[in-house]
Amino acid sequence: MTAVMRLVALAAVALAVGTGCAEGAAPGQSLPVRHEPEPLTQRFPGLGEPLTTEWVSWDNNSERGAAPGPSTVWIEAVVELRPDRAGELRALSVLTGEDPDLRDPLRPLLPAGPFRTGRALDRALTGETASEWWPRAYLEETGNRLVLLAVLPA
């Protein structure tokens, strides 16, 4: 993925967060927080077998009344990793001073930080195969929680 594509994806995330579009929720309603790990681990096998998952998902068709055509999908998650997996991912990341910004349903779950990030960490989440998802991961410096912001562009 080129730097321009990554920038477009991150801008799309920021736009979606600002406009509040949500799959399965009417405008202005809160997103339902999901807890089942399988949808996340299927898309991001590098998470391993998480201890807990709390996540939301939405698309850009939600507020348009499911207009026909391509749809961009967003996922935000707070995942508690197994300690050994957190250690493996920590080795692929660097302390950057960046903080994730989560939507309201997950915001109270945001770890205090500081966070480790990096392209190698992001790529490790999608596994060995090519992925259409563009993840951005934030791993606690000393804990086992990972914050995931991901976009599947239309």
- Residue spans per domain, the chain: 3-152
In the chain, % of residues over pLDDT 90 = 65
Residue 82 phi, psi dihedral angles, 5° rounding: -65, 145
150: three-class secondary structure by DSSP:
strand
Q: What is the pLDDT of residue 24?
A: 44
The mean pLDDT value for 95-107 works out to 92
Task: Identify which of 74, 63, 121 has the alpha carbon closest to the alpha carbon of residue 101.
Answer: 74
Angle formed at CA 149 by CA 154 and CA 130, multiple of 5 degrees: 60
Burial of 97 per CB tally in 10 Å (0-12, 13-18, 19+): exposed
Q: Distance (Å, rounded) from C-alpha 19 to C-alpha 16?
A: 5
Chain segment 30-52, per-residue pLDDT in tens: 789 999 999 999 999 999 999 99
First to last CA, the chain: 15
Residue type at position 50: P
What is the C-alpha R_g of the chain? 15
